[in-house]
């Protein structure tokens, strides 16, 4: 018996499936135990209430060899899961099981045991899947940060099984700062967990061509020869004065996730698509113009302009 309890304790922190099977076997043998054996077993079951708190976290963090950020997020979140008694070996149920064992009601005790097991198993699987995929995302993000890449595109399915949170983001590009402000309503950081538990969506790094990066990081002065005419002709469409118009044009360039090149008189120019207009710059970052398009029809407007103005991909 001593040996089996020892084994049980080891399994508690290494293999939850076998741990639960072993516990089940011990309950079945309860009736055949001698008085001292029964006493020992009772106290061990009681002490398992404490083990239950860390059991799955230990197990899954070890197996998943998880990233620190991922682990601390799931640990914080899981305090609640454990407190609700779903994931840990439910204290009340363990006590119920123990009293049934003491009453020699083995069959009922086993039923309680099985409900503890299946609950823990499905919750455990969810946590494990969630951790594994979060680890993959963490690798992508670490790698992106190392390379100084700050933009990620949301990718994955858009079918009926996906959450609205995910569907509305698939195909879109965000900065890491923007992602850190997102809320999936599951108190799991979107950067590592996307839509939350069991989410299969992923982040893909978006590499900006060097020329775009340089333009974005430049001063972005509005061309002296164009600004007065543009303020008269184009700024009113945005309802902005000259200063606001220039500022918005700069912010369109800095935040653009969609950009093209166009050749004019043998020189390369760059087009940055914004929410309600697009900006054209030269390669040193001078702004040539900021032009309005209806925010309701950005996609259509851009598609037409691509053809009409011969915009090319970078």
Size of the site for Zn ion (CB under 5 A): 4
User: Can you say whether residue 172 is alpha, beta or left, with left for phi > 0 and alpha for psi between -120 and 50 degrees?
Assistant: beta
Minimum Å distance from CB 157 to Zn ion? 8
Helix, strand, or coil (residue 27)? helix
In the chain, beta strands by DSSP E: 151-155, 173-175, 202-205, 259-264, 267-273, 277-282, 287-292
Q: Which of 201, 216, 234, 288 binds Zn ion (CB under 5 A)?
A: 201
Minimum Å distance from CB 174 to Zn ion? 15
Minimum Å distance from CB 155 to Zn ion? 10
Residue 287 interacting with Zn ion (CB under 5 A): no
Minimum Å distance from CB 133 to Zn ion? 10
Which CB atom, from 57 or from 166, has the smaller least distance to Zn ion?
166
Residue 124 interacting with Zn ion (CB under 5 A): no
Residue 137 interacting with Zn ion (CB under 5 A): no
Minimum Å distance from CB 1 to Zn ion? 48
Number of Cβ atoms within 10 Å of the Cβ of 16:
22
**CB burial readout 251-273, b (16+ within 10 A) else e:** ebbeebeebbbbeeeeeebbbbb
Q: Report the C-alpha gap between 203 and 139 in whole angstroms.
A: 10
Here's the x/- map for Zn ion, 151-170, by CB under 5 A: it reads as ---------------x----
Residue 52 interacting with Zn ion (CB under 5 A): no
Q: 213: part of which helix (H) or strand (E)?
A: helix 210-216
Instruction: Give the interface with Zn ion as residue ranges (CB under 5 A).
Output: 166, 195, 199, 201
């Amino acid at each position: 018996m001593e040996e089996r309890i020892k084994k049980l304790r080891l399994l508690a922190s290494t293999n939850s499936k076998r741990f639960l099977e072993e516990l089940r076997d011990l309950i079945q043998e309860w009736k055949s135990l001698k008085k001292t054996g029964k006493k020992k077993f009772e106290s061990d079951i009681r002490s398992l209430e404490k083990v239950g708190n860390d059991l799955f976290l230990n197990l899954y963090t070890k197996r998943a060899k998880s990233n620190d950020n991922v682990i601390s997020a799931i640990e914080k979140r899981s305090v609640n899961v454990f407190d609700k008694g779903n994931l840990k070996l439910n204290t009340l149920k363990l006590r119920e099981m123990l009293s049934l064992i003491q009453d020699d009601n083995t069959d009922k005790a086993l039923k309680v045991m099985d409900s503890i097991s299946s609950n823990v198993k499905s919750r455990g699987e969810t946590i494990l899947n969630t951790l594994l995929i979060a680890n993959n995302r963490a690798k992508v993000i670490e790698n992106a940060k190392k390379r100084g890449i700050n933009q990620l595109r949301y990718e994955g399915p858009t079918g009926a099984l996906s959450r609205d949170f995910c569907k509305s983001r698939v195909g879109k590009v965000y900065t890491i700062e923007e992602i850190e402000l997102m809320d999936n309503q599951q108190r799991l950081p979107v950067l590592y967990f996307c839509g939350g538990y069991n989410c299969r969506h992923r982040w893909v790094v978006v590499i900006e061509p060097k020329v775009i990066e340089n333009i974005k990081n430049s001063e972005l002065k509005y061309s002296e020869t164009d600004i007065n005419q543009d303020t008269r002709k184009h700024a009113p469409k945005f309802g902005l004065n000259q200063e606001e118009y220039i500022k918005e044009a700069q912010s369109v360039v800095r935040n653009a996730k969609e950009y093209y090149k166009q050749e004019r008189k043998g020189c390369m120019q760059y087009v940055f698509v914004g929410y309600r207009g697009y900006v054209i710059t030269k390669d040193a970052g001078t702004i040539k113009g900021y032009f309005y398009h209806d925010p309701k029809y950005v996609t259509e407007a851009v598609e037409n302009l691509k053809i009409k103005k011969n915009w090319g991909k970078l």
